[in-house]
Amino acid sequence: MTSSHSQALFDRATGVMPGGVSSPVRAFGAVGGTPPFIAAGNGARITDADGRTYIDLVASWGPLILGHAHPAVVEAVASAAALGTSFGAPTHGEVELAELIVSALPSVEMVRFVSSGTEATMSALRLARAATGRARVLKFAGCYHGHVDSLLVSAGSGVATLGLPDSPGVTDATRSQTVVAAYNSTESVAEAFDAFGDDLAAVIVEPIAANMGVVPAVNGFLEDLRRRCDEAGTLLIFDEVVTGFRVGWSGAQGSLGITPDLTTLGKVVGGGLPIGAYGGRRDLMEMVAPSGPVYQAGTLSGNPISVAAGLATLRQLSAPGTYERLESLGAALESGIERAIKQAGVPAGVQRVGSMMTLFFVDGVVTNFDEARECDTTRFRHFFHEMLAWGVYLPPSQLEASFVSLAHTTDDIGEVVSAVEESLERSWP
């Protein structure tokens, strides 16, 4: 179903912007059709250019954990903007936000702000290479860490191997320094360390994968990474751009009890405005310019408006009971969808951590990228559009996470479950 205003806007956009969008997944390439152009958001809902309203489960890909246009965030942004939008100089707010992050994440003794998750992971890799004097990095197939050249690689899964570029423009020289292993496979990790361990500067991992759909780490997988990194002198980087302040106040590292050497953050810590951050052990972070030789800079790093939105968001999240409520809403949605799947008798299942989840169209548990790619994406495409027509806005890709916010009510959850029941029926005629 295409709204006339969205179609007209998309036609204009594709004339002046690659794919008509500012980020590829927004173009609906995986599901087809014309993306609704969104005009406004309020709480758990967004409204498109034709006034059609949807219950939003994308949350701008994670940041909007409070829901859209939360009064505390809007007020903080407006007040900050009235004092000026950027100074290129230190500000009080970024110290407050840095201290708050340090207090929340025990492994983070110091933090540096940047303007995106990509900048955070790119900078953390540079720091790890400088600190270890090594070149290679190990990542996992199906994990996404932003569009950093050295992380835009993914080879066949199941075996640690030298990465194959996911994108033209990533050079052979770059890919030769990236080793790819299978998520949740200690055997694959063993092969990588056996082959490259003494040249691995870092292992970067999503402690709860969200970019092949939600795939939690199986027991022992992260502990094995920590042990192998310690043995090999390799730094462990937790990419918590999605999970940071999403799955708990102290992130996935807090709930899983694993201590990384460096952590990358984004999304929620900016409350919907552009932000990223990387942080960790003091001895490592003091290597970052100007206190050390590792150069990294940014015109709008620590931007006061982003920082104001982030502080307002985290201060709301720090209130007692917020993560319990997110868990309760997430669990209600998961059980409602599982009932709908059972009632429809279709091969599908939900994988969830807290308020982030994925409905996989495949039989059985998804533990890695190969298994995620077994999903019936044709069914997902039909299901997605049925849900959109019903008024529920899902991520337009099977291999992404849906997010519930504190603005969602139990009634909203009930509406989404009803939409799932009807959409499953229509997707399996």
Q: Which residues of 104-122 are buried (b: 16+ CB within 10 A; e: fewer)?
A: bbebbebbbbbbbbbbbbb
Decide: 148 and 302 in contact? Cβ < 8 Å. no
Backbone angles phi, psi at 304, to 5 degrees: -60, -30
Minimum Å gap between C-beta 23 and ligand KE4 is: 3
Minimum Å gap between C-beta 289 and ligand KE4 is: 21
Confirm whether 267 is a catalytic residue: yes
List 48, 54, 139, 267, catalytic entry = 267
Determine how β-strand 110-114 pairs with β-strand 45-48. unpaired
| Residue 182 DSSP SS3 | strand
Question: Which residue, 334 or 400, is less far from ligand KE4 as judged by CB?
Answer: 400
Please count the helices (runs of H) and the strands (runs of E) in the chain: 14, 17
Question: Which residue, 5 or 26, is less far from ligand KE4 as judged by CB?
Answer: 26
Residues that bind ligand KE4 in the complex, under the rule CB under 6 A: 23, 25, 61, 116-118, 121, 144-146, 206, 210-211, 239, 241-242, 266, 276, 400
Minimum Å gap between C-beta 21 and ligand KE4 is: 9
Question: Which residue, 265 or 341, is less far from ligand KE4 as judged by CB?
Answer: 265
What whole-number distance in Å separates Cα of residue 412 and Cα of residue 319? 22
List 54, 56, 144, 412, catalytic entry = 144
List 239, 261, 376, 412, catalytic entry = 239
Q: Which residues make Cβ contacts (< 8 Å) with residue 166, sequence separation at least 6?
A: 152, 153, 154
Decide: 213 and 206 in contact? Cβ < 8 Å. no
Sign of the Cα torsion 249, 189, 125, 229 reads: positive
What whole-number distance in Å separates Cα of residue 405 and Cα of residue 415? 15
Decide: 213 and 372 in contact? Cβ < 8 Å. yes
**β-sheet bridge partners, residue 178:** 137
Question: Which residue, 276 or 336, is less far from ligand KE4 as judged by CB?
Answer: 276
Minimum Å gap between C-beta 116 and ligand KE4 is: 4
Minimum Å gap between C-beta 133 and ligand KE4 is: 25
Task: Look at the block and give the residue holding tokens 């794919």.
Answer: 19
Question: Which residue, 151 or 332, is less far from ligand KE4 as judged by CB?
Answer: 151
What whole-number distance in Å separates Cα of residue 223 and Cα of residue 254? 13
Minimum Å gap between C-beta 54 and ligand KE4 is: 18
**β-sheet bridge partners, residue 352:** 357
Minimum Å gap between C-beta 4 and ligand KE4 is: 25
Question: Which residue, 119 or 421, is less far from ligand KE4 as judged by CB?
Answer: 119
With CA atoms as reference, report the closest residue to 407 among 57, 61, 47, 68.
68
Task: Look at the block and give the residue holding tokens 């949807």.
Answer: 54
| Residue 149 DSSP SS3 | helix
Report how far Cα 343 is from the mean position of its chain's Cα atoms: 31
Question: Which residue, 24 or 84, is less far from ligand KE4 as judged by CB?
Answer: 24
Residues with active-site annotation: 144, 239, 267
